[in-house]
Amino acid sequence: MRQPITITGAGLGGLILARILHLNGIAATIYEAERSSGDRMQGGLLDIHEDSGQHAIRAAGLAEAFSRLVRPNEDAKRVVDRDGNILFDRPGSPNGKRPEVDRGALRQMLIDALPSGTIRWGHKLISASRLSEGRYGIRFADGSCLTTAMLVGADGAWSRVRPLLSATKPEFTGTWFIETHIAADDPGCAMHAAIIGSGTMMAVAPGQGILAHRNADGNVHMYIALNRPENWASGIGVKDARGALSSVAEAFGGWAQPLIAMVEDVSLPPTMRPIYALPVDHRWDHAPGVTLLGDAAHLMSPFAGEGANLAMFDAAELARAITSQDSVEAAINSYERDLFPRVAPLALASAANLERFFGPDAPYSVADLFRALT
């Protein structure tokens, strides 16, 4: 099959798909809302699983480049309670099966592996519609439009392509993440890094927690978690970093002072992230010429470590179907037939782990989870 492919979203999944198609001589164009690859920060560490994320990277011919991004020993895990007592402390591995990499570095590696012009930056998708003769129309915020015979929605949680296939919308999980950073040159950064250890630290309790690690540049990257209503952030000012985080820190009253200091000692304005998920059994009826991958297909909470890995694996599987089948319809049918049963148990595990992290048995349930995984 040599039909050009239109991909919406230059996340990890969309980039892997375009890369593998390029290797097989199939034209693909990615339309991305961001204005450039440096338009915004790309999050923190990702653990890349051997049988999913790494499989996709090998299929993209980028295993050697990926190996240069791996941060040895950063897969260490530490679980502490609200008093700072260590309940679980696993050292990192120099060559584990789930090596850690910076999300931004991984994304840039994939961008650099694509021919110039593959990504059309600054194209924010507004809507996608079904036209006649098996084609689709997509409209962008700048007023431009295009039509395509094969459309892949890799455009994330609030996908504009998903409504072509499914009326289901993501549901709020009850948990908020407040994403913050402490700069490497901050006077307190070394103290915070010592508390975190060599990998990821999880200080959790019922309804709240602090999840922190160090980036390659030495910054401390944190997700402060709170179980709050969906409209909770509307009353919190986020323009003044210290003012906003001081308000959030009140929720950690009675915690060990070094943990409270991590919440208060922030260098950049926080990003408020309500955590949404699609139903664990989300699926759709086949439609000609269009499909989904990654969060657009199976958005889940981040507590199974599967989101980025699944997006890349989806892309590799879709690319395999496209390059091995004789028609668009055969390729999409093959891909979707395998997608739904593969994802459902992982979505279920993610939902269960969210409850383990912030439910009534935290932090002991989290320590038990990592002991079982070790």
Can you tell me the distance from the alpha carbon of 150 to that of 7, in angstroms, rounded to the nearest whole number? 9
Judge whether 103 is annotated as a binding position: yes
Can you tell me the distance from the alpha carbon of 197 to that of 199, in angstroms, rounded to the nearest whole number? 6
Residue holding tokens 């939902």?
351
Phi, psi of 198 (to 5 degrees): -85, -5
Can you tell me the distance from the alpha carbon of 290 to that of 298, in angstroms, rounded to the nearest whole number? 16
Which domains are assigned to the chain?
Answer: 5-71+95-170+278-358 (3.50.50.60), 171-276 (3.30.9.30)
Residue 43 is predicted with a pLDDT of 67
Look at the pTM and tell me if it is higher than 0.85: yes
Judge whether 90 is annotated as a binding position: no
Residue 293, CB-side half-sphere exposure with 13 Å CA sphere: 30
H-run or E-run covering 317: helix 307-324
Judge whether 47 is annotated as a binding position: yes
- Tens of pLDDT along the chain (374 residues) come to 567 899 999 999 999 999 999 999 999 999 999 998 877 766 678 889 999 999 999 999 999 999 999 988 778 899 999 999 999 999 887 766 788 898 999 999 999 999 999 999 999 999 999 999 889 999 999 999 999 999 999 999 999 999 999 999 999 999 999 988 888 888 888 888 889 988 899 999 999 999 998 877 778 889 999 999 998 877 665 445 455 666 788 899 999 999 998 888 777 778 888 999 999 999 999 999 999 999 999 999 988 888 999 999 999 999 999 999 989 899 999 999 999 999 999 999 999 999 999 999 999 999 999 999 87
